[in-house]
Amino acid sequence: MKKQILFLAAMLIAMSNVNATQWSVSNSPQNPGQFATLSDAVASASVLTGDTLLVHPTSIAYSTAFSLSKQLTIIGGGFNTNKVGAFYTNISGMITLNVGCSGSRFYGFRFATIISAGTAGVLNNLVFEDCYSSTGNSINFSAAVYPTNLVIKNCIVSEVLLPISSLQAHLLPIVFLSRQRCAKQYR
């Protein structure tokens, strides 16, 4: 009987992590979301590892910088729509990736700069897909906190800086703007 109760308790605890929640983020007063800023959403105790943030495209850029320390999927409205009067999901504040955000995925937004920070660690299994950035140092990983199994797919960026220790990066159709480059740094 004790084994059955312990098994049931273990199953209930395991199942509590199975159901990820979707949260809406919108900085538009006419079309509010559950959160008004990305920084509020990622800092919220209600948003748990494995959850998804649906970031609404608006005419106003999401300008507050934020630091990501948990695994999230962040989905924007796309960066290259051909519709007249269409809005983008534009994140103009700096995004800082910390070790706890391994496994995070970013889809369909424009961004200014993404950096890694911390004293030491590895960011595993990060995905950037259908994103756009035209600023210098678009995606910049430090030697202290570097990615493994990094996927950058169908993105337009000006620069990706990877430390030499990050040898498992997959840059699938990626377009670099002007004379910028993808560089492995810290040789």
What is the radius of gyration, based on Cα positions, of the chain?
A: 18
- Given a cut of 70, whether residue 96 has pLDDT beyond it is yes
120 or 183: which leads in pLDDT: 120
Q: Let me know if residue 83 belongs to a domain.
A: yes
Domain membership of residue 76 (yes or no) is: yes
pLDDT score of 178? 42
In terms of Cα–Cα distance, which of 111, 27, 99 is closest to 67? 99
The whole-number pLDDT of residue 153 equals 85
Pairwise CA distance, residues 152 & 2, whole Å: 49
Q: Which of 47, 45, 34, 42 is nearest to 65 (CA)?
A: 42
- DSSP 3-state of 73: strand
Burial of 84: CB neighbours in 10 Å, binned 0-12, 13-18, 19+ = exposed
Which pLDDT score is estimated for 157? 83
Is 66 contained in some domain?
yes
Q: How far, in Å, CA of 25 to CA of 150, rounded?
A: 26
pLDDT(185) > 50: no
What is the model's pLDDT at position 7?
42
CB 170 within 8 A of CB 151: yes
Residue 9 lies in a domain: no
| pLDDT number for residue 127 | 92
Average pLDDT over residues 65-87: 82
Cα gap 6→116, rounded to integer Å: 41
Summarised one tens digit per residue, pLDDT across range 114-131 is 888 887 888 889 999 988
How much is the average pLDDT of 102-111?
Answer: 92
Q: Is the pLDDT of residue 171 over 80?
A: no
Q: What is the structure's pLDDT at 176?
A: 52
Residue with the two structure tokens 């995004």: 95
Contact between 25 and 35 under an 8 Å Cβ cutoff? The reply is yes
Model pLDDT for residues 37-50, shown as the tens digit of each residue: 999 999 999 999 99
With respect to residue 186, please indicate whether it lies within any of the assigned structural domains. no
Give domain status of residue 132, yes or no.
yes
Asked whether residue 51 carries a pLDDT value surpassing 60, the answer given is: yes
> Does a structural domain hold residue 100?
yes
Yes or no: say if 186 and 162 are a contact pair by the CB < 8 Å rule: no
Question: Which pLDDT band, with edges at 50, 70 and 90, does 183 fall under?
Answer: very low
Query: Structurally, how many domains does the chain consist of?
Result: 1
More confident residue, 88 or 164: 88
**Is 5 within the bounds of a domain?**
no
Q: Helix or strand or coil: residue 13?
A: helix
Using 50, 70 and 90 to split pLDDT, how confident is the model at 182? very low
Range of the domain at 142: 20-178
